[in-house]
Structure 1
Amino acid sequence: MYSLARSLLFNLDPETAHGVSLRALESLHRAGGVERLFGPAVSDPVELMGLRFPNRVGLAAGLDKNADHLDALGALGFGFVEVGTVTPKAQPGNAKPRLFRLAKHGAIINRFGFNNQGVAHLVENVKRRRYAGLVGINIGKNLSTSVDDALSDYLTCLEAVHGVADYVTVNVSSPNTPGLRTLQFGAQLDALLAPLRERCTALDESAGRRVPLLIKIAPDMSDEEIALVAQSITQNGFDGVIATNTTVEREAVAGHAHAEEAGGLSGRPVFEPSNRIIRALRQKLPDLPIIGVGGIDSPAKARAKIEAGADLVQLYSGLIYEGPGLARHCAKALAEQAGEAR
């Protein structure tokens, strides 16, 4: 059934197809059709970061930047949904076209540039959620805010979302906001993470609930850079890491008509690069919760992410190519994998 829908959607401009798909899913959900079509979510609870995840498969940030479709997406069987990236003020993002399919490679290039309606809009949507799983909120900085002043934007977002988020992810790895990735390393990363940790701890104490802080990192790192990030995560008491964001490398898609488009490459070509980062982090930080994302388009790929060292996984591009049933298929495979390990 999805192969027919995909053939129709792939005749549309990618960003138009994205919007059509979300609106169709929303309509189906409101009519009660999502659960009837796909069945109940897989129950495979896991305790991590003081949270109880209903199963090990989540939706990666970026697909629902404003939490406009949180309940409908959650109904696809995700144990957790991450929304955003959100910025303090609404911004349109980069000029269109900014989304490209590389179907031969099971890949996507995007250069959205944190297009979103602003943190206040997202918070109101999350407040209205009926979705019973966990909700992460991914935060970033506005394009108009300089890299030197980025901390103020992250603090603004953290303070706004703390009351409604189950966890918060600090995104310093998008390639589509100029200069953002320079925040990933050394003194600049410490200067960002330390105040965020301090403010989040104060908010936790005031609210009487602990909201874990995670960082999302890029796959384009040397071994030395991975070591620096691991050190900063430890020193600043962050609760987990999401590995990884999109890549700026193009070797895997060389020769494709869209290969040289600016932006982040996601999907199948990121599978092994993200696994490399996960394995390195697991070696350096044996007890750190890791959410693995990048190139998961089958249950076998989800299992491989866990074998690489991830505790949980997230999907995005795989949903575009394999369809909405992927979440449940992967969750079932990971539940079986966990059972085999016990």
Structure 2
Amino acid sequence: MADLFSRLARSLDPETAHVLAIRALGGWGTLHAPLAGAIPRLAITVAGVSFPNPVGLAAGLDKDARAITGLMALGFGSVEVGTLTPRAQPGNPKPRLFRLVEDRAVINRMGFNNGGLAAGIARAQAADRRGGVLGINVGANKDATDRVADYVAGVAAAAPIADYVTINVSSPNTPGLRDLQQGAALTELLAACGAVRGATPLFLKIAPDLDAAGIDGVARAAIDGGVDALVIGNTTISRPALRSAHGSETGGLSGAPLRTLAADKLREVRAATGGHVALIAAGGIDSGAEAYARIRAGASLVQLYSALVYDGPGLPRRVVAELAECLARDGFASVAAAVGA
């Protein structure tokens, strides 16, 4: 069934397939599809939040919080929706999503297309989470005159609903957005968002393209600003050797070619933070073995997205099962015991 799903999805235009997948998962959720069975050794607490397993869905798939219950039922321990911006925006012109089949990769330049904060928050509030963890990812409108104010509005609206809120300052598809990862701009942003989050954990999603100085700066700001976790990372604007004809498209690259860069940056951020901030690894994760490697390199949680395009909806359960086998094989009674091992 998963192979059939994947073949059908890949026969369609990428953005059309994306929309149809969300509709299908949204409908499945209304049927109260069961969650995957819990595996006790995979439970982990991060920032005071109890995750049934450390394998999460990265933001970007369910931009408007339309399929939370269906996505939870695939076996994810957490689902992160968004990115939501204060006002609805159409995003960048089409085409803006490209499959690099030969590379098991995706390039996107979507540009935070979403129906706006109010509508997304209302759907998230009404969703049946079925015991899973819900993250809400927030960003700034492309034409915002005060981007910090946009983030503050997002955090303030999402915090009462979400189990955690992620500030996304790392998309390469909104001009100038990544400047907020640097220096005084980041310090100001974190202070302003921290003032409205209440008791809800605040995560920060950063780019895998940061250099050593940039990583050190983010680490200091995150520790000083009370950030509960860093997500490493978003898509990359770098281009390793690619075989696909779409490899020259502009936008953020994700999927298998990002694996080495993302793993290297995870280790660099781990060293820079000294274990004082929880880390969430993303980028090129498509197996339990890769999830396990990131956990041993310092991640408490992992997220995936692009691999679903190629491996279908059965992927989360497979990754969860393989991860449990890796932990058992090496004698770890829990995920937490393996973090940074």
Instruction: Tell me if TM exceeds 0.5.
Output: yes
Tell me the amino acid that sits aligned with residue 277 of structure 1.
K
**Are 1:298 and 2:287 counterparts?**
yes
Tell me the amino acid that sits aligned with residue 244 of structure 2.
H
Distance 1:30 1:239 in 2: 33
User: Which stretch shows the higher mean deviation, 265-274 or 189-198?
Assistant: 189-198
Q: Deviations over 1:276-300 (max 9, x none)?
A: 1111111122132111111111221
Distance 2:227 2:73 in 1: 30
Q: Deviations over 1:60-85 (max 9, x none)?
A: 00000111111111111111110000
Question: For residue 341 of structure 1, what is the aligned residue in structure 2?
Answer: 332
Tell me by how many angstroms 1:2 deviates.
Answer: 2.0
Tell me the amino acid that sits aligned with residue 246 of structure 2.
H
Tell me by how many angstroms 1:195 deviates.
Answer: 1.7
Contact 1:137 1:167 in 2 (8 A): yes
Structure 1, gaps ≥5 residues long: 205-209
- Which structure 2 residues correspond to residues 1-342 of structure 1 after superposition, within 5 A? 1-31=1-31, 34-35=33-34, 40=37, 42-43=39-40, 44-131=42-129, 132-146=131-145, 149-200=146-197, 204=198, 210-253=199-242, 256-285=244-273, 286-339=275-328, 340-342=331-333
Tell me by how many angstroms 1:41 deviates.
Answer: 5.1
Tell me by how many angstroms 1:92 deviates.
Answer: 0.6
Question: Tell me, what secondary structure is at the counterpart of 1:82?
Answer: strand
Distance 2:214 2:177 in 1: 15
User: Which stretch shows the higher mean deviation, 298-307 or 242-251?
Assistant: 298-307
Tell me by how many angstroms 1:338 deviates.
Answer: 4.0
Contact 1:41 1:78 in 2 (8 A): no
Tell me by how many angstroms 1:303 deviates.
Answer: 1.3
Distance 1:72 1:60 in 2: 15
Distance 2:172 2:293 in 1: 26
Contact 2:255 2:284 in 1 (8 A): yes
Tell me the amino acid that sits aligned with residue 84 of structure 2.
V
Q: Deviations over 1:112-144 (max 9, x none)?
A: 100111111111111111112111110100011
Report the RMSD for the aligned CA atoms in angstroms.
Answer: 1.6
Q: Residues 290 and 88 of structure 1: is their aligned pair in 2 closer, same or farther, counting only changes over 3 Å?
A: same
Question: Tell me, what secondary structure is at the counterpart of 1:127?
Answer: helix
Tell me by how many angstroms 1:42 deviates.
Answer: 4.3
Tell me by how many angstroms 1:39 deviates.
Answer: 5.1
Distance 2:88 2:211 in 1: 34
Percent identical: 47
Q: Residues 152 and 45 of structure 1: is their aligned pair in 2 closer, same or farther, counting only changes over 3 Å?
A: same
Q: Residues 246 and 311 of structure 1: is their aligned pair in 2 closer, same or farther, counting only changes over 3 Å?
A: same
Tell me the amino acid that sits aligned with residue 263 of structure 1.
G
Tell me by how many angstroms 1:31 deviates.
Answer: 3.8
Count of residues in correspondence between the two structures: 328
Distance 1:91 1:140 in 2: 12
Distance 1:115 1:103 in 2: 24
Distance 1:97 1:41 in 2: 40
Superposition TM-score, scaled by structure 2 size:
0.92
Distance 1:158 1:20 in 2: 29
Q: Residues 18 and 120 of structure 1: is their aligned pair in 2 closer, same or farther, counting only changes over 3 Å?
A: same
